[in-house]
Amino acid sequence: MQGITKYFGDFCALKEVELAVRAGTIHSILGENGAGKTTLMNILYGFYTCDSGKIFVHGSEQEISTPKDAINLGIGMVHQHFMLVEPYTVLQNIILGDETTKIPGIIDYKKARRKIEGLAQAYHFNIDLDAKIQDITVGMQQRVEIMKALYRGAEILILDEPTSVLTPQEIDELIDIMHSMVKNGKTIVIITHKLAEIMKSSDECTVIRKGKNVASVKIEDTSENELAELMVGRKVHFTVEKENRKTGEVIFSVDRLTVEDDRGITKVNDISFGIRAGEIFGIAGVDGNGQQELFEAIASLRKAKTGSIHMKGVNITNTSPREMFENGICVIPEDRQKSGLVLEFTVAENMVLEKIGRAPFSRHGLLDLKKIRKNATDLIREYDVRPEHCEDTRAGALSGGNQQKAIIARAISNDPDLLIAVQPTRGLDVGAIEFVHKAIVGQRNQGKAILLISLELEEVLKLSDRIAVLYNGKFADILDAKDADENRIGLLMAGGKNDENA
Ligand SMILES: Nc1ncnc2c1ncn2[C@@H]1O[C@H](COP(=O)(O)OP(=O)(O)OP(=O)(O)O)[C@@H](O)[C@H]1O
Ligand SMILES: [Mg+2]
């Protein structure tokens, strides 16, 4: 890609960006949230057209104005936010829009199935073709997306933040799949914020900042620290300063909670814990061990079967998200697009979602738009949500990481007594992670209680004062942070016993 420039209105998202990817390599693209990575790839995939610039594939200049053009040139893309039809099966999703027919109007499922099974074998991945998308894990959904691209004959595969939704095990599996694709002659362009993954998987890396090229480096000649510095333009601190402080009283408690999933299977099995003011209580665990159901029950999004939840002495079991908010609980949800934001609303509107009906944002049934806007202006500045003046921008038009920053800004600005943070830094760049971690620890230092649920073991270890390990719907153990390390927690996460003599 040569001299790629792209404007959204007056906003210049990309300015004369260059990208050169060698055939048969894995090339990563690194940059802060909002740097323009997804936009650049969307241009390559024909999702957007650039205002100026040229694209060459195998040496010849190409006009790519629709994804169809890209697919015909052997370019496939797996998007940052998946684009699957939930009630359809895996098979139906893979062939959607590219159905082979026996006679016109009749889909040849047998033939499609054979082709997909062949591909799955070649690249060593298991997928259940007859499962519905809504019933499979995110990791599996991602394989469906990759398979969709391979099915359409992709030779160049673009992966936009493929690992931000995966568990550590799934990440290793994906990297294996990527390596086997490259062995089979494919070329991969991958966007990721995780520097360790770039070091492990890639041959080269192109860094962009605020829509401009910063550097292109060979992985063998660089380091995680250098990449971080290139990307953010300053040194990044990977550790969080945490002062020792006395915790207060237990303000939030869960007592003998049992929760079932939609199919009536017990996912949270008789769990009890309490969180004190000024304490970060972290829950570690491999995805699927009950985190989601535990969170949903606490947030009143799912009924608890038995047990109770109390906030500052008030029983809030099976109430409503509104009631939770009234009792001083705010949430940074796991899925920013589904439950964090109303994508069609502006950033300013999203920043007051829970309290839009209250003073000062509403008086006598009328909204005070000036106050709503001012509130957003302050938060955008404080939390560095980009682009700079996005008060009236549709939340859906923000980059993924900036959507996340907006949600975090809103949650903290509500000044909750208990902040529930689920995967709070998913999809954030290292600079923004540093910022969010500081903000969470800052809340703790102000005497707030924090419940942190994260699949990133490193994050749980770094922030928590106490760590509970969720395994199979129960706490395998609750450890003091000073007694916890990666090995010990890792063992518990895998269902091992915490035996001192072992
Ligand atoms: N459809 C759109 N309309 C208006 N602005 C947009 C649109 N798409 C992207 N932008 C803006 O362009 C900039 C680059 O966005 P992009 O999604 O490419 O960032 P990114 O590097 O992928 O960030 P992230 O790491 O957060 O995903 C952002 O400031 C974003 O708000
Ligand atoms: Mg992006």
Sequence ranges of the domains in the chain: 2-232, 238-328+416-502, 337-414
- Nearest ligand (C-alpha, residue 386): 1
List ligand 1's pocket residues with C-beta within 6 A.
8, 13, 31, 33-39, 80, 386-387, 397-402
Burial class for 121, CB neighbours closer than 10 Å (0-12, 13-18, 19+) = exposed
CB 230 within 8 A of CB 207: yes
Residue-by-residue DSSP string for 432-484 = HHHHHHHHHHHHHHTT-EEEEE-S-HHHHHHH-SEEEEEETTEEEEEEEGGG-
DSSP character for 336? I
**What pLDDT score was predicted for residue 501?**
40
- Nearest ligand (C-alpha, residue 401): 1
Q: With bands split at pLDDT 50, 70 and 90, how would you rate the model's confidence at 137? A: confident
Q: With bands split at pLDDT 50, 70 and 90, how would you rate the model's confidence at 495? A: confident
pLDDT in tens, 380-401: 999 999 988 999 999 999 988 8
**What pLDDT score was predicted for residue 71?**
94
**What pLDDT score was predicted for residue 498?**
52
Which CATH number, 3.40.50.300, 3.40.50.2300, 3.20.20.70, 3.40.50.1820, labels domain 2-232? Answer: 3.40.50.300
SS3 for 51? coil
pLDDT at 124 over 50: yes
CA-proximal residue: ligand 1, atom 19 (nearest): 34
| Domain 238-328+416-502 coded CATH 3.40.50.300 | yes
- Nearest ligand (C-alpha, residue 160): 2
Atom number of ligand 1 nearest to Cα 32: 25
What is the rounded average pLDDT of the residues 286-304? 92
pLDDT at 415 over 50: yes
**What pLDDT score was predicted for residue 238?**
72
**What pLDDT score was predicted for residue 17?**
98
CA of 402 to the centre of ligand 1 (A): 9
pLDDT in tens, 37-89: 999 999 999 999 999 999 999 999 999 999 999 999 999 999 878 889 999 99
Rounded to the nearest 10 degrees, how much is the dihedral formed by the CA atoms of 130, 261, 78, 386? 160
Burial class for 135, CB neighbours closer than 10 Å (0-12, 13-18, 19+) = middle
**What pLDDT score was predicted for residue 456?**
85
pLDDT in tens, 154-176: 999 999 998 877 777 788 888 99
Decide whether 2-232 matches 238-328+416-502 in CATH topology: yes
Atom number of ligand 1 nearest to Cα 39: 18
pLDDT in tens, 243-277: 787 889 999 999 999 999 988 999 999 999 999 99
pLDDT in tens, 210-227: 999 999 999 999 999 999
Distance CA 495, CA 472 (A): 8
pLDDT in tens, 447-487: 999 999 998 888 999 999 999 999 999 999 999 998 998 88
Atom number of ligand 1 nearest to Cα 386: 29
pLDDT at 101 over 90: no
pLDDT in tens, 36-51: 999 999 999 999 999 9
Rounded to the nearest 10 degrees, how much is the dihedral formed by the CA atoms of 287, 289, 295, 298? -170
Q: With bands split at pLDDT 50, 70 and 90, how would you rate the model's confidence at 500? A: very low
DSSP character for 340? I
Q: Which of 1, 32, 39 to mutate to test the pocket of ligand 1 (most atoms within 8 A of CB)?
A: 39
What is the rounded average pLDDT of the residues 181-203? 93
Q: Which of 213, 399, 404 to mutate to test the pocket of ligand 1 (most atoms within 8 A of CB)?
A: 399
Q: At CA 55, angle to CA 52 and CA 56, rounded to 5?
A: 150
Q: Which of 40-44, 356-360, 400-404 has the highest mean pLDDT?
A: 40-44
**What pLDDT score was predicted for residue 497?**
63
What is the rounded average pLDDT of the residues 111-137? 88
